[in-house]
Structure 1
Amino acid sequence: MQIILVSRHLCTARTITIMPRHVLLAVTGFVALVLTTAMLLSWLSVHWRLPLVEDLVQSQQQKESRRIQDYVSNNLQLMATRLGELQGKVMQLDSLGQRVSGLVGGKPTVPTPAAASGDGQGGPFLPVALSANELQQEIERLAAAVDNHAAELEALEFQLLEKRVRDRLLPTTLPVKSTHLGSGFGVRLDPIAGMQARHEGIDFVAPMGAPVVAAADGVVLVAESHPEFGNMIDIDHGDGLTSRYAHLSRLDVAPGRLVKHGERIGAVGTTGRSTGPHLHFEVRMLGVPQNPALFLKRGGEFAQFARR
């Protein structure tokens, strides 16, 4: 851009050329001047403590202070709520742990605060206000306690599951109902030979055709006719534990069949070396005869049967 200046006195014209850099320098100088003036006015206002500027600064400081207080108050409220939730969970886990420990036959591993001391205590609950750091520490402590309780409950759950599996695999179910006890386990007078002989099981006297059920979960090993035991079923319960059901009138299962405790496997009879309808029931560990009553007593049915 060019600017032409004409003088009346010299009767001449002068041309001034304005380049883009000149415009940029002029704008930069103007902006710098404005900023410098503003900074100077601000410094003078603060230095001489002008009321308008001081009120503005105080108002901004108060707004910022209230914002910070609201933020801290909200965070403290959230932390207090979280603390209350964790305390409630710890109490629930304590109670649940005690109940589960009772189911598995153990003792609570973590005592509740009330059980921690044997002395009598009481009085009104007057909570103490906690600082932010104390709240955070208490939350971290309770969070760790929740994790520990969860781990303990997982261990108790495994023990309970193991106990349930073990109980289902132990012959604790009465193999025949509506019965009374005949010959017990041990030495007896043989009913046919009339001489002292070992009896490796228990005889349950029951009507012909009465249902016979599996005393525990297992797999049928044998379901066949035997010269002395008659129709006989052997069930494998694992770990070398087996049970035998003899003198049956019928066989309702076949070898290899998976059966559950209480499931019907046959019926009472008098087959084989027998003098009348009854069930001969045996329990063996690694082939060694065991007293079936020791296993059956662990079930509730045998206690009722023994009182008859």
Structure 2
Amino acid sequence: MNIIFVSNNMAKAKTLSTLQVCLIALLLISLPVVIMLFLIVPQESTTQQGDKSLIPSKLKQAFGINNPQKHLDAYALQLGELQARIMRLDAQSERLAKLAGEKKPASEKITPVSPELGANASKADPAGRGGPLVLNAPITELDLQQKITETMAKIDFDTDYLSDIEAKLLQQGVLKDMLPNSSPINAAFNSSSYGWRIDPFNGNKAFHEGLDFSATEGTPIYAAAGGIVTTAERTPDYGNIVKVDHGSGLETRYAHASKLMVKVGDRVEKGQVVALVGSTGRSTGAHLHYEIRLNGNALDPRKYLKASN
């Protein structure tokens, strides 16, 4: 099919091909549809478009923007650490109660109030609270983070204080003559190595139950007190380790040694060489990992080294 146009000015006929006619018809049909879609479909605001152009979606996911699950995971890790610290604090308070000859009282539990109690609810709930509402505001994420940090600092302070009390009770009690209060090596220790730290292998927070003494390989390791050798072996974590039992539940551990100088069943005297410094087991370099334990629970060795000075 051909369409012929005749111009008055030129008096000359122009012919359109079938393809050109189809294209014109298609354009005329699609134009109203495009206009309708533009009017019906909601458009994003310039602010949102600017956000998208400035912060790509992959970058948002990497930094956790608009991703509440990452925030929940971070708080879950912090709460888990708080629970671990509180459990250690509870165990330490129980040990103190035993040393002081007192029984630790059971924690009081508040019974939840049921709706059926009605007017008697205030009598059944010992934790009644109230008061006028002043300056009401929702708690923010920053507030929550600050409270968690303050709680951790308070727990650390209480733990250190209880460690001091525990050490003083042991030094004044019947175990004072058995305490390992001499240095196990002629080297300085890392004063922050006992307690919570960043694990050198996985980068997570972990509790370090002893002191690390940096020294060259082959440096002598001495028994901090007299006792019986109960362990002299190689393990995956401690490497070559010696454990000495000093009686009444007291034990010292000397780990990561390059060579063991005693065997199980040996009686050792205070100051006797029991091993040589090395870097066996889970270790990043030559050093002595030294622990003091009472009935299996780790004590802070710094408190007993200070007592010997």
TM-score range, shorter chain: 0.3 to 0.5
More helix by share: 1
TM-score, normalised to structure 2's length?
0.43
TM-score, normalised to structure 1's length?
0.43
